[in-house]
Amino acid sequence: DAVCTKCHDESEAKPLLSIYQTKHGVRADARTPSCQSCHGRSEQHVSGGKGVGEASRPTPDIVFKTKSALNPTLDAATQVEVCIGCHKGGQRMHWEGSQHSSRDVVCASCHSVHVKADPVLNKSSQQEVCFSCHKTERAQTHRLSTHPLAAGKMGCSDCHNPHGTTGPKLLSKGSVNETCQSCHAEQRGPFLWEHEPVTEACTNCHTPHGSNNAPLLKARAPWLCQSCHSGDHAAQVNSGANLQGGALTMANGNQLLAGAAARAQMGGRACLNCHMVVHGSNHPAGSKFQR
């Protein structure tokens, strides 16, 4: 390391000496890697090669996140293999075949090894690392209703495991519901009366990264509810009878008395005025999720 840091010091575009303030630089630990542990022996780079000046100096044997004509074999697999050689098992056991691996994303694409505090390991800055690629999700988090990412109360890794999982969308748990319910335990159930779309997936009604409808709903009531529930009840909600002097029209097209008022419960066009426990009910009379 003394040979390497003679040239590679704080004058670099990306200063390197701060690595000795991280776990990778604890020299008292025999497991701590050296420069050559990650970048290879790089003998030609150290000796300076046959040319004159820095421009002609061969690059190290392994350069992370960089490819050059002098290092044509530095593919993603080669770079990842160096890191996986030490960082085995745990959350990284499903890396092979994961979405990031199949898209040639390397460890250095997200992690900054030479800095004292890796931004992707800090919840307050982690989102910016992820959003450098996931720009649609960045836009969604700026909507009216969203998870507290900007406040630093949670990070992307609270729901996703970027190193690969057995579940969909790199979710940290085996399913959408299991992931959501790790925080929203009150919605876990089982309930005496269960709402089918809730038991299938929370994302049937909610969009997790952000929505203009609170709380993270895909649409407002009653339109969200009516994407599944149709019939006379739904027709009354949408009829002109919700307005003063309106006519009540049934689903079959038959019009009732002009000026007939719809049920009082429908006046606000909010299903949740009556069906307030839509995630499930344990009340003996809760089959309609009203209590």
Give me Rg for the CA atoms of the chain: 29
Residue percentage of the chain with pLDDT more than 90: 57
Give the model's pLDDT for residue 99. Answer: 93
Name the nearest CA neighbour of 62 among 39, 43, 82.
39
Mean pLDDT along residues 3-28: 88
* Residue 180 exposed, middle or buried by CB count within 10 Å (0-12, 13-18, 19+): buried
Residues 6+ apart with CB under 8 A from 260: 241, 247, 248
d(CA 204, CA 218): 8
Task: Tell me the pLDDT band of 246, cut-offs 50, 70 and 90.
Answer: very low
Mean pLDDT, rounded, of the chain:
85
Name the nearest CA neighbour of 265 among 252, 255, 275.
275
* Residue 79 exposed, middle or buried by CB count within 10 Å (0-12, 13-18, 19+): buried
49 vs 91: which has the higher pLDDT: 91
Tell me the torsion sign for CA atoms 208, 280, 273, 223: positive
Q: Quote the tokens at residue 199.
A: 């038991």
Give the model's pLDDT for residue 50. Answer: 58
Task: Give first-to-last CA distance, the chain, whole Å.
Answer: 68
Least confident of 103-107, 176-180, 269-273: 269-273
Q: Is 50 left (phi over 0), alpha (psi -120 to 50) or beta?
A: alpha
Mean pLDDT along residues 45-65: 75
d(CA 108, CA 102): 15
Give the model's pLDDT for residue 244. Answer: 45
Tell me the torsion sign for CA atoms 89, 93, 96, 100: negative
Give the model's pLDDT for residue 75. Answer: 82
Give the model's pLDDT for residue 123. Answer: 92
Give the model's pLDDT for residue 257. Answer: 47
Whether 79 contacts 106, CB under 8 Å: yes
Q: To 10 degrees, the CA torsion angle through 167, 172, 177, 180? A: -160
Mean pLDDT along residues 219-244: 69
Give the model's pLDDT for residue 223. Answer: 86
Asked whether the predicted pLDDT for residue 109 surpasses 60, the reply is: yes
Q: pLDDT of 150-175, one tens digit each?
A: 998 999 999 999 999 998 999 999 99
Q: pLDDT of 252-284, one tens digit each?
A: 555 544 445 555 555 566 788 889 999 999 999
Exposure string over 3-40, b if 16+ CB within 10 A, otherwise e: ebeeebeeeeeeebebbeebebbeeeeeebbebbebbe
Tell me the torsion sign for CA atoms 101, 102, 103, 104: positive
Please tell me what DSSP assigns to residue 120. Answer: G
Mean pLDDT along residues 133-157: 95
Give the model's pLDDT for residue 95. Answer: 93
Give the model's pLDDT for residue 89. Answer: 86
Q: pLDDT of 59-78, one tens digit each?
A: 888 888 766 555 555 688 88
Give the model's pLDDT for residue 274. Answer: 85
107 vs 238: which has the higher pLDDT: 107
Give the model's pLDDT for residue 66. Answer: 67
Q: Quote the tokens at residue 189.
A: 């159930």
Name the nearest CA neighbour of 242 among 260, 222, 265, 267.
267
In the chain, where are the structural domains located? Answer: 2-116, 196-273
Give the model's pLDDT for residue 258. Answer: 46
Question: What is the full DSSP assignment across 40-55?
Answer: ---HHHHHT-SSSSGG
Give the model's pLDDT for residue 39. Answer: 92
